[in-house]
Amino acid sequence: MTRIPLFPLNIVLFPGGPLPLRIFETRYVDMVRGCMREDRCFGVVLISAGREAGPAETYDVGTTARITDFHQLPDGLLGLTCEGRQRFRILKKSVAKDGLNLGEIEWLADEPAVSVPPRHARLGTLLGTVLPQLGEVYTGIDMRLDDAAWVGHRLAEILPIELPRKQGFLEMDDPIQRLDALAPLTPVPGA
């Protein structure tokens, strides 16, 4: 088991996905310092009940986030640019003295590298068109439009669907099954 700091949010972070954050609470500023100093990730988990400021209950499956850049925002807060890395399952939760949520976790296996099947080729094409239009969080992203897991993760994160359903897509282990479930939710050009 591995112990990591947890950041409960009202967002589902997928592997390879962008995560811009504004940090203002002392416990999270300290967490960021520790992550930067020790070159480690923190876990992002979706809130199932409660608030981001706490207290909050979370789902058990989340994704680690690696800090890729930081800067001071005009309002004086700390701005972070993070990227989703690996999925995990929380086995045991605890809270540090400073209020930081901690989790003892097990790593979930990486999804198999499989190509997007021909029946879902339009999904990769759709992403190739849409992602560049979504602003700077997707600027410079390495588009892997033929990778079924990558395509499914990007679609699940950008589609306007309810958070518990996004969480279900995160928890799926089969990238083709995820595409099969996402395909009916995506717009068909000319329809």
Owning domain of residue 165: 118-185
pLDDT at 101: 93
Q: What is the pLDDT of residue 37?
A: 93
Q: Which of 107, 136, 163 is the last residue of a domain?
A: 107
- Output the pLDDT for position 1: 72
Handedness of CA 36, 12, 154, 104 (dihedral sign): positive
Model confidence over 15-34: pLDDT tens digits?
999 999 998 888 898 999 99
Same domain for 102 and 123, yes or no, is no
What would the pLDDT profile of 33-89 be if each residue is shown by its tens digit?
999 999 999 999 999 998 887 778 999 999 999 999 988 888 888 899 999 999 999
Measured between alpha carbons, how far is 158 from 20 in angstroms, rounded to an integer? 14
Domain annotation covers residue 31:
yes
Indicate which CATH number applies to the domain containing 67: 2.30.130.40
Q: Which residue has the tokens 């996402």?
A: 182
* 130 assigned to some structural domain: yes
Question: Total structural domains in the chain?
Answer: 2
Counting residues of the chain whose pLDDT is more than 70, the rounded percentage is: 98
| CA dist list (Å): 166 to 10, 12, 95, 181 | 11, 7, 26, 11
